[in-house]
Amino acid sequence: MSNFGYRALKLAPAAVLTAALLTALAGCDSNPPRPAVAAAPADPARAALAEAERAYGAQDDARALPLYLPLARAGNADAQFRVARIYTRNKGVAPNAVEACNWWETAANGGEPIAATNYGLCYESGKGRGQSYPAAAQWYRRAADGGNAYGMYNLGLAYEYGRGVTQSFDNAMLWLQRALDARIDSSDAADVMRHLKRARNNVEAARGDPQAQYDLAIDLFNGHSPEVKDERRAVAMMREAAKTATPPR
């Protein structure tokens, strides 16, 4: 038998085996499909908040409030803030100063600086809380320290008029300027600047600056906001300005 024939005989069993394996494998899926991954369950709290936000945006507070309340009680800061707003804006829910202040307090204690400003207003106005300038100033400071421009503004006013804190025009200047630097709303910036000017005039007048004394006297004589009309003090201030002014050469 030739070598060729011999080799053929030797290879025949292997070829048969290979064919048998290919036939067997043909009926098997070497890459079967993976089972479908179950979708993550929907977050009911998030869905409830979204529905509450839609109702709130549509000014339908009668619908929004019962959606927000469970979330607020569970510690959701956004819901707490909205509930407080709902109790002040009279859009389907009767205003309730006590409830509004309760929720401003909760949100403020959770670290919300705008809520701290609004809670301070509860004490300053006496609506929803007993009137207390010291408590108001305390919450304005928390709001200011948290970066809220209106907390800075209100704290500046507290120092300007000595409401709940020792009167200090220097501290008033500090916080009023910070309110401007924090980009308080343009609609209120002019008022902040008027109070800042008053505080600065009082500081400079006390240091003997004749121009500040004169400007302050004019504001006092005419009752220019935010000064209260006080003609007697205006005359005294004008005299001080005359004493310290440098006579023309």
pLDDT digits (tens, 9 = 90+) for 7-64: 333 334 444 434 443 344 344 444 545 455 554 456 788 888 999 999 999 999 999 9
* 97: amino acid identity, one letter: A
- The model's confidence at residue 173, banded by pLDDT at 50, 70 and 90, is very high
pLDDT digits (tens, 9 = 90+) for 101-150: 999 999 999 999 999 999 999 999 999 999 999 999 999 999 999 999 99
Rounded-to-integer distance, Cα 139 and Cα 128, Å: 15
- Indicate the length of the chain as a whole number: 249
Rounded-to-integer distance, Cα 84 and Cα 169, Å: 33
Q: Residue 90: which residues within 8 A CB-CB, separation 6 or more?
A: none
Which of 153, 142, 58 minimizes the C-alpha distance to 107? 142
What's the pLDDT score for residue 93? 97
Rounded-to-integer distance, Cα 135 and Cα 51, Å: 36
What's the pLDDT score for residue 90? 95
Which of 147, 172, 144 minimizes the C-alpha distance to 158? 172
In angstroms, what CA-CA distances link 228 with 157, 191, 200? Answer: 15, 15, 16
* 8 A C-beta contact, residue 108 and residue 139: yes
What's the pLDDT score for residue 123? 98
For residues 148-170, give the mean pLDDT: 97
What's the pLDDT score for residue 128? 97
Residue 146 is given by DSSP the state: T
pLDDT digits (tens, 9 = 90+) for 94-110: 999 999 999 999 999 99
Rounded-to-integer distance, Cα 104 and Cα 82, Å: 10
Q: What is the mean pLDDT of the chain?
A: 85
- The model's confidence at residue 249, banded by pLDDT at 50, 70 and 90, is low
* 8 A C-beta contact, residue 229 and residue 220: yes
Q: Which of 12-16, 105-109, 210-214, 239-243 has the least mean pLDDT? A: 12-16
Q: Which of 102-116, 158-172, 198-212 has the least mean pLDDT? A: 198-212
Question: Interhelix angle for 77-89 vs 113-125, to 10°?
Answer: 30
For residues 68-89, give the mean pLDDT: 96
What's the pLDDT score for residue 19? 43
**Angle (CA) 205 208 209, round 5°:** 70
Classify 153 as helix, strand or coil: helix
Residue located via tokens 């929720």: 103
What's the pLDDT score for residue 246? 62
Which of 57, 88, 53 minimizes the C-alpha distance to 67? 53
For residues 216-245, give the mean pLDDT: 85
* 8 A C-beta contact, residue 116 and residue 154: no
Task: Please state the pTM of the whole predicted model.
Answer: 0.77
- The model's confidence at residue 214, banded by pLDDT at 50, 70 and 90, is confident
